[in-house]
């Protein structure tokens, strides 16, 4: 199981979703992907993207200007 | 048991593509969605910028459609490749800088590449004959099929019965009789079909899903091209055209004036790339200066910026000006009266 972190700060949706999608494409089921973002739109869009692709959002850590979303890659990856 | 046929549906987030995908899913076809991000999409980030829009429920409509259908959605970044469509549209523009027909051809072509790479059989769009005056006409439908290279792998389930049969229909992958014959600008057949499937709360954007169909946006893009002497842009250029008031008092520079807190916050991210002004004696917006400033321009810009601050009626307003080297200086100016701002300075 691997852990990958990507930086999607200062990008506006849907670009953080696209970066998440591109990173997830190279991962295996059970791998962890952490996405660092600043656009509050990701709070809706990344979980929605995860639901349609069968991934699980395991943690949303919202700090002052930064949002870190932790995703566990699903079986259908 | 044989594997079901596989189709990719172009999902814009609107009702027509939602229905087109659903109609094909009804026939046992495995459908996944594809959504292209051009940089001009009204979707998503636009709502993130303006604070006044934050009160509205925000969602990515293409993802919402995928959830309603229970299908995967692949969002593809085509910002770079799309430039050629915007700059050199073979079939020309619509009423603004919207290259709708070239855009459709390009997206179907990208979908064709995608199905080849991913082992899918055909492509679905939500096009309806007569729905859009430029790109969705009976005579443009074969143009899209032919010039995209998709030919008869392109199925328009909402109007398929009034078009020649496609390969999936001829091969029996789709029952033509269970496709539709919608045409014209009326939305009633789509609304009835949505009701039949139980879809509610779907998006029906009045101006479409692309900023290039917006007159004001197109004027700003044309101004950008004209003043640069070249029809080029990057993502930051087209993002900044979506925010603020744009005023061009001189051919060599323009001001981008934040209209509210959300826009100011968004523009903060661009401060290091532009000479900029911030009122310090009064509350007021961040103002970015785009262009090469000549003597006297900074003072002129400061008087205009003061006009948009809370000190507009005050005898003097002090602003902090920051150069590209990060050096700051204070400017004390008389706010420009509204009557001295020619209307044609507003882009």
CATH, residue A28:
3.30.110.40
**What are the backbone angles phi and psi of residue B185, rounded to the nearest 5°?**
-85, -10
Residues in chain B closer than 8 A to A53 (CB atoms): 72
User: Given an 8 Å threshold on Cβ–Cβ distance, is B44 in contact with A52?
Assistant: no
Residues 6 or more apart whose CB falls under 8 angstroms from that of A4 comprise A23, A27, A31, A32, A33, A34
B187 and B263 share a domain? no
B41 and B134 share a domain? yes
Residue B233 lies in a domain: no
Split at pLDDT 50, 70, 90, the class of B261 is: confident
The answer to whether B239 contacts chain A (CB < 8 Å) is yes
Distance (Å, whole) CA B305 – CA B132: 41
CA distance B343 to chain A (A): 32
pTM for the full predicted model: 0.91
Write down the residue that tokens 């055909």 correspond to: B122
Q: ipTM, 2 decimals?
A: 0.95
Residues in chain A closer than 8 A to B75 (CB atoms): 14, 17-18, 21, 49
Q: Which residues 219-238 of chain B have a CB within 8 Å of chain A?
A: none
| pLDDT > 70: percent of chain B | 94
Supply A54's token pair.
Answer: 């069968």
Per-residue model confidence (pLDDT) at position B45: 52
B46 and B139 share a domain? yes
- The whole domain housing A64 covers 3-72
Using one digit for the tens of pLDDT, what is the confidence trace for B90-145? 999 999 999 999 999 999 999 999 999 999 999 999 999 998 767 788 899 999 99
The average pLDDT across A31-59 equals 95
Distance (Å, whole) CA B230 – CA B78: 21
Per-residue model confidence (pLDDT) at position B202: 87
Q: How many CA atoms lie within 13 A of A56 on its CB side?
A: 8
B255 and B138 share a domain? no
B30 and B109 share a domain? yes
Per-residue model confidence (pLDDT) at position B46: 55
Per-residue model confidence (pLDDT) at position B207: 56
In the predicted model, is pLDDT for residue B218 greater than 60? Answer: yes
Residue B159 lies in a domain: yes
B253 and B180 share a domain? no
Cis peptide bond prior to A14, omega within 30° of 0: yes
User: Given an 8 Å threshold on Cβ–Cβ distance, is B60 in contact with A17?
Assistant: yes
B207 and B249 share a domain? no
The average pLDDT across B331-337 equals 97
The answer to whether A44 contacts chain B (CB < 8 Å) is yes
User: Given an 8 Å threshold on Cβ–Cβ distance, is B45 in contact with A18?
Assistant: no
Coil, helix or strand at residue B41: strand
Task: List, as one string, the DSSP characters of B277-327.
Answer: EEESSS----EEEEE---TTHHHHHHHHHHHTSTTTTSS-EEEEEE-TTS-
Residues in chain B closer than 8 A to A44 (CB atoms): 58-60
Residue B312 lies in a domain: yes
The answer to whether B63 contacts chain A (CB < 8 Å) is yes
Pairing verdict, β A32-37 and B30-37: unpaired
B271 and B131 share a domain? no
Residue B236 lies in a domain: no
User: Given an 8 Å threshold on Cβ–Cβ distance, is B75 in contact with A51?
Assistant: no
Per-residue model confidence (pLDDT) at position B259: 93
- The whole domain housing B270 covers 243-345
User: Given an 8 Å threshold on Cβ–Cβ distance, is A52 in contact with B58?
Assistant: no
Catalytic residues of A: 13
Mean pLDDT of chain B: 92
Task: List, as one string, the DSSP characters of B158-196.
Answer: TTGGGSPPPHHHHTTSS-GGGS---BSS--HHHHHHHHH
Per-residue model confidence (pLDDT) at position B53: 56
User: Which residue in chain B has the smallest CA separation from A24?
Assistant: B74
In the predicted model, is pLDDT for residue B72 greater than 70? Answer: yes
B204 and B251 share a domain? no
The answer to whether A66 contacts chain B (CB < 8 Å) is no
The count of domains in chain B is 2
The answer to whether A21 contacts chain B (CB < 8 Å) is yes
Residue A77 lies in a domain: no
Nearest to A17 among B41, B49, B75 (CB): B75
The answer to whether B194 contacts chain A (CB < 8 Å) is no
Q: How many residues does chain A have?
A: 77
Per-residue model confidence (pLDDT) at position B131: 86
B93 and B160 share a domain? yes
Using one digit for the tens of pLDDT, what is the confidence trace for B33-49? 999 999 998 765 555 56
The count of domains in chain A is 1
Distance (Å, whole) CA B272 – CA B177: 60
Give the count of beta carbons closer than 10 Å to the beta carbon of residue B269: 14
In the predicted model, is pLDDT for residue B265 greater than 90? Answer: no
């Amino acid at each position: 199981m691997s852990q990958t972190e990507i930086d999607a700060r200062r990008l506006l949706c849907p670009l953080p979703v696209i970066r998440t999608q591109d990173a997830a494409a190279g991962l295996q089921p059970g791998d962890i992907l952490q996405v660092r973002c600043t656009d509050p739109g990701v709070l809706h869009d990344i979980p929605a993207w995860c639901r349609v692709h069968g991934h699980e959002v395991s943690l949303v850590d919202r700090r002052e200007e930064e949002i870190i979303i932790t995703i566990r890659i699903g079986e259908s990856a | 048991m044989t594997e079901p046929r596989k189709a990719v549906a172009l999902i814009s987030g609107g009702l027509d593509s939602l229905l087109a995908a659903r109609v094909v899913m009804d026939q046992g076809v495995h459908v996944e969605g594809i959504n292209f991000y051009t940089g001009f999409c009204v979707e998503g980030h636009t709502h993130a910028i303006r604070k006044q829009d934050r009160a509205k429920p925000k969602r990515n409509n293409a993802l919402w459609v995928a959830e309603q259908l229970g299908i995967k959605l692949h969002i593809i970044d085509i910002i770079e490749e799309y430039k050629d469509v915007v700059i050199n549209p073979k079939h020309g523009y619509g009423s603004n800088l919207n290259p709708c027909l070239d855009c459709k051809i390009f997206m179907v072509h990208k979908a064709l590449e995608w199905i080849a790479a991913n082992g899918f059989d055909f492509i679905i769009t939500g096009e309806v004959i007569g729905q859009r005056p430029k790109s969705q006409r009976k005579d443009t439908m074969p143009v899209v099929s032919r010039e995209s290279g998709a030919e008869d792998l392109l199925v328009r389930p909402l109007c398929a019965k009034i078009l020649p049969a496609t390969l999936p229909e001829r091969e029996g992958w789709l029952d033509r009789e269970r496709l539709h014959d919608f045409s014209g600008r009326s939305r009633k057949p789509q609304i009835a079909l949505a009701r039949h499937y139980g879809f509610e709360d779907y998006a029906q954007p009045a101006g479409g899903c692309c900023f290039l169909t917006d007159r004001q946006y197109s004027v700003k893009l044309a101004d950008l091209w004209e003043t640069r002497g070249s029809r080029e842009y990057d993502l930051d250029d087209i993002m900044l055209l979506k925010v603020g008031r744009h005023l061009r008092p001189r051919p060599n520079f323009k001001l981008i004036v934040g209209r509210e807190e959300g826009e100011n916050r968004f523009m903060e991210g661009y401060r290091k790339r532009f000479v900029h002004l911030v009122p310090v004696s009064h509350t007021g917006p961040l103002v970015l200066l785009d262009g090469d400033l000549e003597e006297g321009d900074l003072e002129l810009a400061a008087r205009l910026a003061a006009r948009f601050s809370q000190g507009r009626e005050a005898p003097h307003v002090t602003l902090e000006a920051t150069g590209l080297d990060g050096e700051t200086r204070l400017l004390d100016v008389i706010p420009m009266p509204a009557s001295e701002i020619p209307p044609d300075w507003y882009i």
